[in-house]
Amino acid sequence: MGEFLLDNIALVALFLASGALLVWPDLSVFGGAQGIGTLEATRLMNQPGALVLDVREPAEYAAGHLPRARHIPLGELGKRAGELAKFKDKPVIVTCRSGARSGAACRTLKKAGFTQVFNLKGGVGAWSQANLPVEK
């Protein structure tokens, strides 16, 4: 068995790397923010004081966004996080097209002291695929 591993070290490394990539999205790679699905996001959105934050570019946001979503593009979030201060201890669901930019936004919000930050897994794409309402 050990001989097989040594003879096929590249295959073993590829196997381990691909396995790590499969579980990566489920780990806390969102800067300490929890990744949540559409069902959990809907539950959180119904809590008093919850905020949905869309960090996409203006044209993307205008094309369709989650109901009652507040729009601050990711590039502006660092300097505009103060506008969201009243939500520091409330649920903040962050979304983008697929979940990558919202992951970066979650890290920014966590560093700014927000305590309940959630990244919508799959972003607006997953939301639309689940046939949930979108506002324009």
Positions marked active-site? 96
Calpha distance 71→41 (Å, rounded): 17
Return the DSSP state at 21: H
Please give the biggest Cα pair distance in the chain: 61
Spatial CA neighbour of 93 closest among 126, 120, 63, 66: 120
Hey, how many other C-beta atoms are within 10 angstroms of the C-beta on 105? Answer: 28
Residue 118 burial by Cβ neighbours in a 10 Å radius (0-12, 13-18, 19+): buried
